Every structure is written in C-alpha cells, then in structure tokens.
Amino acid sequence: TTQPAEVQDPGETQKPGIPEEVWEGQKGTAEGPTGTHRVQFHTEKKMQLALEASAEENAARMKRKRCEAQSEMCSPADWIRQDDWPVGIRNVGNTCWFSAVIQSLFHLPVFRRLVLNYHLSERILEKCKSHSDKRNIAFMQELRCLFALMVGSTRRFVDPSAAVELLRDAFRTSEAQQDVSEFSHKLLDWLEDAFQLAANGNNPEDKQKNPMVQLFYGTFVTERKHEGKTLHNIEQFGQYPLQVNGFNNLDECLEGAMVEKEIESLHSDHIVTFVQFWCCRWFKKLPPVLTFELSRFEFNTQLGRPEKIHKKLEFPQIVYMDRYLHKNIDQTHERRGEVKKLKEQLALLQQKLECYKNYGSGPTKYPLADMLQFVLEFATTKPTSISPAEDLRPAASSPTPANHPVSEPASKDNRCKSQISSVSSCQRTPIYKPFTQCRHPLDCPPHPAPHSITEEELHFVKTCLQRWRTEVENDINELKASIDKLTQVLEGMYSDNSLCQVPYRLHAVLVHEGQASAGHYWAYIYDHGNKRWMKYNDISITESSWEELERDSFGGMTNASAYCLMYIDDRLPHLITEDTDDETGQVLRGIDSLPPLLRRYVHEDNRWFQQELSEWEEQFCQTAAPQGESTASAEPPSTSSDNIQQTPVKPGVILAIAKARQTFDTEGPEAGLIKAFHEEYSRLYELSQEETTPQEDARLQHALVYFFQNKAPKRIIERTLLEQFTDRNLSFDERAISIMREARAKLRLIKPQDMDMDEYMQWHDDYRLFRTVFVYLLTGLEHYQIREALIYLAHAYETNDGLLRNGEKRGVDKSLIALYRRKCLTALNERASRLFCSGEESKVEEGVAIMDEAVIPCLHLMSRDTALSLEDRDAMESIRSHWCCCLGQDMDDSLQVKLGEFLPRVLDGSADTVVLKDPPKVHVHQAHDLCSRLAAVMESIHNASIVIVK
C-alpha cells in the first residue's frame, strides 16, 4: 500500500495541518519567532492561545483535586452543575477568602462584564514590557478564564489555582506579610492597574477613565480648622475603613468617622510642640459600589499578637448616605445640632430614671419604689410579744423544721452545726417584693416590726409612704414615655425625604469565623434577579435568609462576624442588569453571554469534563458490572464527542511510545513524541487501507481510521492523534509521562485561528454516530426474537442513512442493515399474526402490541424512503397482503374490530403519524468490544451456532 508523503517524512507531516510552531515551539525574540514560514506572535494572540489551551489544564487540575478529596468513587452527579445554579470555587489551600471576594465581585453583573470583555490593543501590548504589567495581564487572563467557567461551565465548582498562585508569588518575592486583607487589597490593586493599561495612560484624566476607578473609587474631603483657618483636602478612597469598637450599628460607625475631632499633632525638630486643630470628613463623591471594611482585628501590644473584636455591630439592608455627603453639610450640621440637643435631653432623662431604679447613698442600690414599699410593710407589721433575742433561743435548742430552708454551712463540723443552722435561718429571712408577694406564708418566720406604734403614727406613715410611692411610679412612667418619644424622634431625624435621596442596597457580606490568627471565610450575596440571599462557602452554595445572615454577620454571639460590607447604588439599575442581545433585546444567559473566544474556551473545558465523566462511567461499569452481564447495558451514551481518548489507554499509543524509546533517550521528550506520533500515524493509516468485510470493520478500532477513509482534513486528524498522547492514564513510566506532558504542551500551542473547533467536534460527533449505528445493529441482532430488535435495527438504518448522505464511508453498508431489518420485520410480523389469529385474549393483545410498537412504525419509515430497495418493497407488500387476506377469514367480531383498527395503518403510511419508539439506552463501548461483538454475531448468523458475547 502506498503511504502518503506525510507519513514517510516527519518534517512534512505538520505543515498542511497543525502549524509548524506547535512542533518547534515558540522561538525568536519578543517581537516574534524567526523564520519566514512561521506565524508572527503578538501578546494578544498569546493571550488567546492560553485561553484556549488552559481548558485542558483546568480539567486535569479538577480531576486531580477531585481524586485527592475523595477516597473512593462517588456519583458523577456530585460534580455536575444543576441547571443554572451558581458555580462554586474550590478551596486550594487556605483560599476561602479568595472565593468569598471573587464570588462577591462575579455576582455583580457590571463588574463581570468588565472582566469578560477586557481587551488590550496590540499597540498597548507592545508597550507592556515591565514585570508588573505582564503579571497584571496574566492575572486578568486567568480571572477571565475563571469568570467564563463560572458563567458557562457544566461543573459544580471550578479551580482558581492559576489566579491564586499569581497572587501568592507576588508575596513570596516582594512582600513579607501574607495577611488576608493584604491579599484582598493586592487583588484590587492589580485589577485597577490592569484596567489602567486599557485606559491607555497614567495622567489624572486617563485614570478617571479607568472602569475600576469609576466603579469602586470615591472621594472624600477633609476639613481642618486651625487658628481660625479652614483647610480642605480631597482624597480618593476604595474600601472605606470603619472602626467597630465603641459603636452599635453602621450609622454610628459612619458618624464616628465623619464627626469633628480634636487632634493633637506632635512636631519634633529639636523642639517639642503640640498643635491642636479640628478635623472632620465628608464624602465628596460616592462610588457606585461602596465597600466598607470593618476593623475587627487589632494588635494587642501587651500580648504581642493580633486579636479579633467580637463586638456586635448591626447594619441595614439599605443605608441612606445623604447625611454623610459634603453637599448636604449645612443641612447635616443643623440636624446634628438638633440630634446633639436631643441626645443631651435623653441622657438627662436616662440619668433621672437610673436614680429612681438604683437609689441609695451606700454601695448597695435599690429601686426607690420598692424601698418605700418595704418601709410601708415594716410599719404595718404588728409587733410580737417575743423579742428577737428570745425568738432565737428555741431555734437553737430544737431541730430546724423541714419547711424552713437554711443555707448549708461551709464547715461540716457536727459540733457547731445546729448553732450555725439557727443563725442561718435568721439571716436568710426572705424579703418579699411588692406586687408579687403581698402576704407572708404561714410557715415563715415573722418580719421585723416596730416595738410600738400608735394609730396616729401608723396613719401618718401609711398616708405619706403610699403617696410618695405613687408619685415615684408616676415619675418613672413619665420618664419612660419621654425617653421612648425622644428615641423615636432621634431615629426619625434622618428619615425624611430630603435626607433619603441616596439609597445604597446591601449586595454582599463577607464573613470571618474564628480568631485573628486563623479562621474561615464565606460570603452572603444578594441574588437581585430572584430576590433572595445566597450563601457562598467555597464549593457549597445554598439559599439563605436575612435571619441567617444576621446570626452569622452581626457578631457578639459567636466568633463569626462580618468584616466587609459591599453596598451598591440603588439608583443605578445597570449595575445589576444582565446582558441582552442587541437585536432581540432578550437576556443572554449562560455561555451565550460570553465573547466568542471565551465561549470556545468553555466549550473545550466542558468537553474535557464530559470525557472525564465518560472515563468515570467506564471504570465504574467495569468495577460494578457482574460477570456475564450483557453488553447491551442500559446506560446512556456519552453526550460528548466521544473522541478516541478513553480509558484504558489505546494499546497502539503504548506500542508507539515503546518504539520511540531510543529516540527519546538520545534526543529528548519532544523528539520522542514526534517519533511515537509518526509510528501510530503510520499504523492507523495502513489499517485504514484494509478492505472492510461484514465480519470486520477497521473503522471501529480507531477514529483515525474512520477519518482517513473519509478524507478528513489533515488538521483534524493530527489534533485527534495528538490528543491521544495527552491521555492522563499515560503514567506507567517516566518516559510516557514526559511524552504526555510534551503532547499537552503542543496541544496548548494550537491557536483558535488554526483550528475550527466546530468542525473538529462535528467530525467526532459523526464518529460517535457511526459507532452508535453499530451498537444498534449488533444489539438488534443479539436480541433477534424480541420486538425491541426491530426497533434497534430501524434506528440503526435511520441514523446510518443520515451519515451516508455525507459520504459513502461515513456509515455502514446500507444493504447490510436493510437485510437484517427486513428479516426481523418479516419474522416479527409472522409472530404477531400467529398470536392475533390464536384468539386468546392475552396473545391477541401481545400481537397487537408488536404491530403498534414495531411493525407498523417500521413500515411507515420504509414507505417514506425514496431509495428503498426492491427486496424491501416486496417484503412490505407481502406483509400488507397477508393482513388483507385475514379479512376473509372466519374470526370473532372482537378480532374483526381490532383488525379494522390497525389495518388502515398497515396499508397506508400517510394515514396518520406514527413515531418509532426510542430504543433502550445503550452504552457505546470501546473499540475492542464492538469488534469482538461484530465477529461473534456474524459467526452466529452464518454458522447457525450459539455464540456467547463477552
């Protein structure tokens, strides 16, 4: 057999297909590789290249992490995204803070659009020579990949390792601290710098065009008054810090940050002087996204370590920022003056109330109303004839009654126990509160009473005490009412419309649980579309509520509390609106909202994920299936392209790597890969030249044989074979691992413009359909005597017919499937006729079912085939004639009725619509299995011997 030139010469193979630089690497200077035949490389194209190729690495990372996390196999459903449920982010080692920050930003549609549509012109890229610029571009590239996967991935969670490592590397090389807040600030700084490159300049005007500045940065004005002069200073802010200690809610924090303060400044240039001045802050311009950083960590100088502040701090879902704006300074000053007066009045009232509640000149305080009541009770208690001293004597000489509780003495000395008990009974005489217990129990000792009191004295005391007690209670009630009224007035001081024009709605709450030195982070994010709170905890995403958010975020109860609040301007709907189609105006969801390049990237990653699931299913089936189970397993075919990378590794690849051993050892992994590539290429090409027989079809052995016979484009063939060498299961020795890594590196160098992925996927889809045709055909022949057999064969014919429209070698020999379909149709029709004519009810029903489910739909499909063979037409006529003859036979009236119901459909395929029943789901097995099944079935048919297909 004559081989094509590309098989004979390794240097010629790659020129018409995969670009030459894929095999030779990216050589040359920063301006581009050397050589006249090589494509000029620019940074933008490298970015596109990395986007396309990193899908495979992401898939490998995800599978590796999954294997590390799971000690045994679990259901693939645990790793598949459900509908449009948000995608989680894997914790790759103390990166929960990154997940919380990124999820908060990603679920802000305006920011998500900025990242996904980030673009730098070639002219700007040529100027980016510094390390920081290249690093920021690389970080934006990884963030775009991450966001794209979070939009359209079929995975339940994605891996952020590449972006996180860039952040960590910066701290390893130039920073000493690795604090979470430092990481967060570094992340935002890089984003700002990256967008500044797109703004194309560093002057103040260009910086104002920076989308990050426009979205997240505002300005505040600081006013300083010193010696009668007022100084103004305008500063920019991003995440605005707020103190937690000393405040109860967010408004108090803001008031504390804005209010005037007296500051002492120390100047030490040989002379020590103290300068006093007043300082206050006002927001000059608020950003659309307003972020408050709550200072919940402080350094304890005595212990020499940071500590967390667990104090409770409340915050609202909507905060009005009017009173903190510089433009409202006069109105706010006026309100603050009123508030100050009201607070002074409130403090005075609370002080008076406190005096009533805690009265007394000694160290112990009591409520004044209770004290008056106690005196009244003392005055009205009748004196007894026994003195208190005499009352103690009998108690000391007799046992303590059971109904007189006494304190257990600290000492257990029996000699003085009775004496101590008697004294304790006197000391523990209960004091009865007014309102709750007005009478003494009969079994309790009497209260102290005056030794003597006249009726006149008693009347005078009772009258005064009762009047005073009533006055005190009235005063307390009036104070409480005044305090409530003042509190309501204070709460409503900033609630009128004039100071409620700038509403900010809570978008995200970032929570920390633990201590200052260690802990865990997660985020609560508001789903604006569905009006609900969601909890994002690494890979776990659950629907939440405001009540749960309060419990976890306010602090004070547990060691969990909010450390960052993200509010958005409620007047700007574009912040939360999703992308829409320019022509139709419909909302773009999922992968449709991505730019074309990222869309291809996500498609590629999803393809890797589907392949990974297929591998899992293969391994699970091989592990779980019992011996002797039928190969027609009731499992669904893979929804991916079902390309040739399956587990275990193709034997041809292993053999090719073995043949390349000498080249690998002498020239290295790249040369070893090229040698192995050509060995397998040549073997498969020779295999494609062999003649196809009913017993053997080489196309089942490998997709490349199918591609060769159908003259697929060279780039499709070469990428397919190159992917064969990237199989993750090539880990049986170091040589195979090196070749696998080299193949992956080559695969990453194939740029989007070099490969039409839609065309690539179409070829692999055709090959999957080709194998599906064989599965239907073989399953139908293996189950020849049941009605499902005809359904399998009919589907095989229809699917195969669609393939053959694109080429003679695209499908199976049409006459072969037609032959067995015709034989099965005739046999099933005869069986249905025998059952129907038997007259037994159960058999009649079974015969009618065979006709309705299999025979009649198959007849209809055959009648609509314009290229139907003469043999098939004769078989159809024979079946129709047979049922027509049944009309003249003697049979029960019920049978005549049933015959009259389905006979018109037998005779006329256009009488109504009959849909062929879907066949049971079957698994598209590996090449060796299909080849052996084909040989076994054909042997069984031609030799009339029983063959067990393993």
- Which positions are catalytic? 96, 520
Whole-angstrom distance, CA of residue 166 vs CA of residue 605:
21
Burial class (CB in 10 A: 0-12, 13-18, 19+), 547: exposed
The edge-to-edge listing of strands for the beta sheet with 261-268 is 229-237, 218-226, 272-285, 261-268
Please measure the distance between the N-terminal and C-terminal CA atoms of the chain and give it in whole angstroms.
34
Cα angle 106, 110, 114; round to 5: 80
Residue 773 pairs in a beta bridge with none
CB atoms within 10 A of CB 606: 21
Instruction: Choose among 613, 724, 710: nearest CA to 679.
Output: 724
3-class SS at 612? Answer: helix
**Are the CB atoms for 215 and 111 separated by under 8 Å?**
yes
Reading the block at residue 445, the tokens are: 């000792």
3-class SS at 585? Answer: coil
Give just the sign of the alpha carbon dihedral 908, 909, 913, 919: positive
Q: What is the DSSP letter of 701?
A: T
For residue 291, which phi and psi values (nearest 5 degrees)? Answer: -115, 125
Whole-angstrom distance, CA of residue 195 vs CA of residue 200:
9
Whole-angstrom distance, CA of residue 686 vs CA of residue 688:
5
3-class SS at 874? Answer: helix
**Are the CB atoms for 696 and 935 separated by under 8 Å?**
yes
Element (H, E) at 484: helix 455-491
Whole-angstrom distance, CA of residue 821 vs CA of residue 798:
11
Whole-angstrom distance, CA of residue 13 vs CA of residue 173:
44
- Type of residue at 853: E
**Are the CB atoms for 591 and 600 separated by under 8 Å?**
no
Reading the block at residue 527, the tokens are: 């789903």
DSSP states of 424-451: HHHHTPPPPPTTT--S--TTSPPPP--S
- Type of residue at 922: V
Residue 366 pairs in a beta bridge with 359
336-341: which pairs have CB atoms within 8 A and are 24 or more residues apart? 336/259, 338/493, 339/490, 339/493
Reading the block at residue 922, the tokens are: 């079957």
Whole-angstrom distance, CA of residue 21 vs CA of residue 745:
11
Reading the block at residue 347, the tokens are: 């403090």
Output the 3-class SS for 637-669. CCCCCCCCCCCCCCHHHHHHHHHCHHHHHHHCH
For residue 743, which phi and psi values (nearest 5 degrees)? Answer: -65, -40
